[in-house]
Amino acid sequence: MKKVKALILTGFGLNCDNETALAFDLAGAQSHRVHINSLISGREKLENYHILAFGGGFSWGDDHGAGVIQALKLKNHIGQDLLSFVEAGKLVIGICNGFQALVNLGLLPGLDTDYTRRSVCITFNDCGNFRDQWVRLTGNGASPCVFSKGIELADYPIRHGEGKVVADPGVIEQLVANNQVVFQYADSKGSPAKGVFPLNPNGAMADIAGLCDPSGRIFGLMPHPEAYNHFTNHPDWTRKKEQFKRRGEKMDTGMTTGIRLFKNGVDYIQDTFF
């Protein structure tokens, strides 16, 4: 059977490539970790893949704004390849540092089909520090996003110092109106956090945790779905396990909400390209 091929960028301080690759494998794809310079040198061709993943990490140390140099480097060397990849209807996902790179490339939010304009910035958390915390997300059922299909609530960890999504109020309005806001930080019941810390851990405008382009095929989010690749990743798993046991039930130890997100992408490619 033909396999969906996912390319996960590596190198220059990126650091979530192994678990992101694992997440794609668990979702049924064939993952390939590829060094950014292999794409630039042409040794690896983007066109040979279906899904491109910009993973988490600290590319170039994030010294001049998170994801800024990564975006510049890719734009400079393979900018056209990226646009062709998007035009071919393939999928791009950016997680954390990858999301930051996507907005700096302009691939997100891609308003008015302009995939080069920077209209959103992801900047320093209002709390003034790097933060590792599990957040609850509410998914936007009306979003065209391919990856979030059927995910109404999700718990994923955030781990960033620069995760606050900022844009001109007009841009935010447009994103909301277009249903490009895929995930919002939420309270335990799934209602948007309304900026309340730490439910919204970084002060993101409109509680934005994830955005897609108008086509829904380019997707970026600050939380890390790949870090919820196994049921034991969830901070409450020991308690849930015990509570299920007392009810005479077994906790679901199968596919996590984290992996479901990747599977949505893989399924989309299978349905569309094969």
Partner 1 sequence: MDNMISCIEIALKQELLDAQASSLKKKADSYFGIGIESARCINIVTIESGLDGVELDRVKDEILTNPVTQVSSLRPLDIDFDWCIWVGYRPGVKDNAGATAMEVITDVLGKTFGENEGIYTSKRYCLKGETLTRAGVEKLAIELLSNGIIQQFKIFSMDEWDKKIGADVKPAKVILDHIPCFDTICIDSNEMLSKISDERNLALNLRDIPVIREYFLDQKVLDERKEVGLSAPTDVELEYISQARSDHCNHNTFNGIFQYKDVSTDGVIVENSLFKTYIQQPTLALKEEKDWVVSVLWDNAGVGKFDDDNNYVVTSETHNSPSNMEAYGGAITGIVGVYRDPMGTGLGAKLFMGSFGFCVGDVGYDGPLNPPLHPRRLLDGVIEGVKDGGNKSGVPTTFGQTLFDSGYMGKSLVFVTALGIMPTLIQGKPSHEKTTSPGELIIMSGGRVGKDGIHGVTASSESFSENTPAGHVQIGDPYTQKKMHDFLLICRDEGLTSFITDNGGGGLSSSVGESAMLSNGCEVWLDRVPVKYEGLDMWEIWISESQERMTIAVTPANLARFMELSREHEVESTVIGEYTDTGKLHIKYKNETCAYVDMDLLEKGFPSWEFDALWLPPEIRGLVEPVISTPSDFNGLLTRMLARPNICSKEWIFRQYDHEVQGGSVIKPLVGVNHNIPSDASVTRPVLTSKKGLAFSQSLLPWYSKIDTYHMMTCTIDEAVRRIIAVGGSFDHIGGLDNFCWPDIGFDEKKNPDGKFKAAQLVRACRALKDACMAYKIPLLSGKDSMYVDGYLGGQFGERVKVSALGTVQFSATSVLEDISKCVTMDPKVSGDLVYVMGTTADELGASEYYDLFGKTGFNIPKVNFDACKICYKALEKAIDKELVSSSHAVARGGLGIHFSLMTMAGGLGMEINLACLPHFNEGSSTNGFTDEIFLFSESAGRFIVTVAPENKSVFEKLCKGLPVSCVGVVTDDHTCLKIDGRDKKSIVNLSCDALDKAFNKTFGDYI
Residue 178 C-beta-side C-alpha neighbours within 13 Å: 20
Q: Is 173 in the site for partner 1 (CB under 8 A)?
A: no
212 is catalytic: no
Residue that has been written with the tokens 């704004």 in this structure: 65
87 is catalytic: no
Which is the catalytic residue, given 96, 145, 162, 234?
Answer: 96
Phi and psi at 240, nearest 5°, equal -60, -40
Binding to partner 1 (CB under 8 A) within 1-30 occurs at: 10-16, 18-19, 22-23
Q: Is 54 in the site for partner 1 (CB under 8 A)?
A: no
Binding to partner 1 (CB under 8 A) within 86-115 occurs at: 104
Query: Which residues lie closer than 8 Å to 160 by C-beta, 6 or more apart?
Result: 66, 96, 97, 125, 130, 131, 202, 222
Residue 187 C-beta-side C-alpha neighbours within 13 Å: 8
Among 35, 176, 214, 270, binds partner 1 (CB under 8 A): 35
- Best CA proximity match to 107, nearest among 149, 78, 65: 78
CA 38 to CA 27: how far, in whole Å? 25
Q: Which is nearer to partner 1, 68 or 93 (CB)?
A: 68
State the residues that interact with partner 1 by CB under 8 A.
10-16, 18-19, 22-23, 35, 37-38, 41, 56-58, 60-65, 68-69, 72-73, 76, 104, 118-121, 123-134, 157, 159, 166-168, 203, 224, 226-227, 229-233, 235-236, 238-239, 241-243, 245-246, 253
